[in-house]
Amino acid sequence: MGRVTGILQTIFVQRFYIQNTLFFLVLFYLLFGVVNGGNLVSYHRSLMMGFLGSLPFLLIVLALWALYGLKCAGFVLKTFQTQGFEFLYPTLGSLEKHRRMRLWLLIHCGIYLPVLVYGGVAAAVGIAHRLYVPAALVVVFNVLMCLWPLAVYERKLHHPDVNFFTGHLQRWLNRRFTKPPVLYFIYELLSNYPRRILGVKLACAGILWLTFYLLRETGGFDIRGLALGLMLCVIAHGQLMMQHRAFDDTYLGFLRQLPQPLWQHYLRLAGVYILLFIPEMAMMAANNIPPAALLTCFALAMSMLLLFRCLLYFPKMNAEIHMRYVLLSSFVTLFLVLGGYGWLAVAVMLPASLALFLYLFRSYETYVDQES
Residue with more model confidence, 122 or 290:
122
84 Rama sector, left if φ>0, alpha if ψ -120 to 50, beta otherwise: left
If asked whether residues 338 and 248 sit together in one domain, one would say yes
Instruction: Report how far residue 305's alpha carbon sits from residue 250's, in angstroms, rounded to the nearest whole number.
Output: 21
Of 340, 256, 272, residue with least CA distance to 305: 272
Which amino acid is located at 116 in the chain?
L
Calpha distance 286→349 (Å, rounded): 27
Answer yes or no: is 300 within a domain.
yes
Domain boundary among 128, 162, 196: 162
The residue among 127, 162, 197 that closes a domain is 162
Q: How far apart are CA 164 and CA 127, in angstroms?
A: 37
Short-list 73, 102, 103, CA closest to 88: 103
What is the per-residue pLDDT across 92-122, written as a single tens digit (0 to 9) for each?
Answer: 777 788 888 888 899 999 999 999 999 999 9
d(C-alpha 229, C-alpha 225), whole Å? 7
Does residue 318 fall inside a structural domain?
yes
pLDDT, tens digit, 9 for 90 and up, residues 253-273:
777 777 888 888 999 999 999
Please check whether residues 120 and 224 belong to one and the same domain: no
Largest distance between two CA atoms of the chain: 71
Q: How does pLDDT run across 75-86, given as a tens digit for each residue? A: 888 888 777 777
C-alpha closest to that of 222 among 296, 333, 329, 304: 296
Provide the residue range defining the domain that includes 321. 181-360
Could you tell me if 188 and 151 lie in one domain?
Answer: no
Q: Say which residue, 32 or 239, is predicted with more confidence.
A: 239
Tens of pLDDT, residue by residue over 357-368, are 999 888 887 766
In this structure, are 119 and 75 located in the same domain? yes
Long-range contacts (CB closer than 8 Å, 24 or more residues apart) made by 250-259: 251/184, 251/188, 252/184, 253/366, 255/181, 256/361, 256/362, 256/364
Domain total for the chain? 2
Residue 310 pLDDT exceeds 90: yes
Under the banding of pLDDT at 50, 70 and 90, the label for residue 139 is very high
Mark whether 229 and 335 lie in a shared domain: yes
Same domain, 186 and 308: yes
Asked whether residue 52 is assigned to any structural domain, the reply reads yes
- Do 116 and 207 lie in a common domain? no
Both 154 and 235 in one domain: the answer is no
Domain assignment present for residue 134? The answer is yes
DSSP classification of residue 339: T
User: What pLDDT shows up at residue 371?
Assistant: 46
- CB-CB neighbours of 316 under 10 Å: 9
User: In this predicted model, what pLDDT tens digit does every residue of 233-258 receive, in sequence order?
Assistant: 999 898 899 889 988 888 887 777 77
User: Would you tell me the crossing angle of helices 194-217 and 223-236 to the nearest 10 degrees?
Assistant: 160
| Rounded Cα distance, 344 and 347, in Å | 5
Confidence grade of residue 2 (pLDDT, cut at 50, 70, 90): low
Do 95 and 34 share a structural domain?
yes
Sign of CA dihedral 20, 23, 28, 31: negative
Q: Does residue 198 share a domain with residue 305? A: yes
Find out whether 327 and 333 touch, Cβ atoms under 8 Å. Answer: no
Which pLDDT score is estimated for 141?
94
Helix (H, G, I), strand (E, B) or coil at 35: coil
CA distance linking residue 22 with residue 295, whole number of Å:
26
Choose one of 94, 129, 162: the last residue of a domain. Answer: 162
pLDDT bin (cut points 50, 70, 90) of residue 301 is very high
| Residue 203 predicted with pLDDT over 80 | yes
User: Is pLDDT larger for residue 11 or for residue 353?
Assistant: 353
Report if residue 312 sits inside a domain: yes
Q: Are residues 251 and 352 in the same domain?
A: yes
How many Cβ atoms are within 10 Å of 243's Cβ, its own excluded? 19
In a domain, 336, yes or no: yes
For the chain, strand residue ranges (E) read none
Q: What is the pLDDT, as a whole number, of residue 183?
A: 86
User: 168 lies in a domain?
Assistant: no
Nearest to 223 by CA among 279, 278, 275, 300: 300
Rounded CA-CA distance 184/190 in Å is 10
Statement: residue 372 has pLDDT above 90: no
Is residue 229 in a domain? yes
Q: Are residues 188 and 109 in the same domain?
A: no
**Summary mean pLDDT of the chain:** 84
Question: Which residues have a Cβ under 8 Å from the Cβ of 314 and sit 6 or more positions away?
Answer: 356, 360
**Residue partners of 365: CB distance under 8 A and separation at least 6:** 315
Q: At a CB cut-off of 8 Å and minimum separation 6, what does 150 contact? A: 101, 104, 105, 108
